[in-house]
Structure 1
Amino acid sequence: MTTKPWILFDIGGVFALADDGHWQPRFSARLRERAGLDAETFGARIDAADLPRIDIEQGGEAEYWRRVGDALGFDAAIRADVRTEFWNAYCGSANSELLAYARSLPAHVGRAALSNSADGAREEEERRFDLSSVVDPIFYSHEIGVAKPNAAAYAAALSLMNARPDDVLFIDDHRVSLDGAAAVGIRGHLHTDNATTIEAIEEFLEPYAL
């Protein structure tokens, strides 16, 4: 076997236990309550703020939080507290078992990550999880300018990994992201628990054993 196998991991909901898909509306509700606004007024102010697309653009995080603060009447101290609360909810806690397993994979196995993200995620997740010691490269949607399940996100990852689709197994906790990977020929595994994910990786790697 001359080709190199790659395990491509999602981050939120896989490496980071962040109640993926549910913390966002709860954070938005807490933000509205903190501003003392009804849902309609809150939504109108946020819409009028014309917030930067920090999910697919770099360099907009500071402006994002400035506009949120201005829209909701938050001073600098409250704005800082809200930002901290956001990143704590966004990052969640480390999936230590899966991170340790990924770190232990043989040297001939490539380890990378592809994650929908927000500007600032690389710094925040690196500080909490030391991800660069586990996976490299890491593809964040705000840095590559496109998010899963867009085919261009997977194409960008394949190009920089210098990998063939057949040699990649993608681990994600959302079926729609796996469907996007399948559309470009990448096999996927729906992460529901560590044991089955590890089993799927081991099975995928069997033909590549040295």
Structure 2
Amino acid sequence: METRCVVLDIGGVLEMTPETGWDEEWERRLGLPTGSMHRRLDDIWKAGSIGRITEGEVRARVAAVLDLDAVRTDAFMADLWDEYLGSPNEELIAYVRSLRTRCRLGILSNSFVGAREREQKLYGFGDLVDDIVYSHEIGVGKPAAAAFEVTCARLGVRPEDCLFVDDAEDNIAAAEAFGMRGLLFADNAETIAGIEAHLTRRRAR
């Protein structure tokens, strides 16, 4: 028996995450050359995205690399999370909530250690879908095939039963190569229409 499934990304899809300029502001405060801060922190960002370090270790390493005291470290991390968490895409979230009785629902997100707790507190994503797969929890992110494999296994569905919605073309291409249907997010109207077409097509087969 076929099980219809929709899997969505978070940042740029369920969350709107425009750049706030927090990093440029911190470079100015610290007297760093433009664009240099993230290069200095790149190893930390990569490790945090696949769960190789804890939140506490992120904080300690950021403070050490940028020579921040406790107060400025708190402010730095708060600014980072403010941009990361963005704002909820209320229309799409409400629509996805309406799908609970129609299909299996999942989230697959390239994330950062600490994201689950914050996103659950702010947006309740854990109550929106059947399962959330975070890169920092499984140790691998999109576009790696393993990320899609874990997602399908945890949702108990076949790749061909799934529609994957993401705002990055590389991730859509990887999902399709894995056997999923892909839908590049452009706006809510097109996304909702695409999901409806997927669900209707699945019912008709």
TM-score by length of 1: 0.89
Alignment match, 1:110: 104
Can you list the C-alpha shifts for 1:141-180, whole angstroms capped at 9, x where unaligned? Answer: 0001101001111011111111111110000011100011
1:89 lines up with 2:83 in the alignment: yes
Task: Report the RMSD for the aligned CA atoms in angstroms.
Answer: 2.1
Alignment match, 1:150: 144
Q: Which stretches of structure 1, 4 residues or longer, exceed 3 Å deviation after superposition? A: 39-47, 207-210
- Given the superposition, is the C-alpha separation of residues 117 and 193 from structure 1 closer, same or farther in structure 2, using an over 3 Å criterion? same
Q: Distance in 2 between matches of 1:106 and 1:43?
A: 39
Q: Which runs of 5+ in 1 are unaligned?
A: none
Q: Distance in 2 between matches of 1:146 and 1:27?
A: 27
Alignment match, 2:12: 13
Please state how far the C-alpha of 1:208 moved relative to its aligned partner.
3.9
Paired residues of 2:23 and 2:37 also in contact (CA < 8 A): no
Can you list the C-alpha shifts for 1:109-156, whole angstroms capped at 9, x where unaligned? Answer: 111100000001101111111111211200000001101001111011
Can you list the C-alpha shifts for 1:95-116, whole angstroms capped at 9, x where unaligned? Answer: 0000000001151411110000
Alignment match, 1:28: 23
Q: Which residue identity is paired with 1:81?
A: A
Q: Which residue identity is paired with 1:6?
A: C
Alignment match, 1:184: 178
Aligned pair partner of 1:71 in 62, 65, 68: 65
TM-score by length of 2: 0.91
* DSSP-derived class of the 1:51 partner: helix
Alignment match, 2:44: 51
Q: Which runs of 5+ in 2 are unaligned?
A: none
Paired residues of 1:4 and 1:108 also in contact (CA < 8 A): no
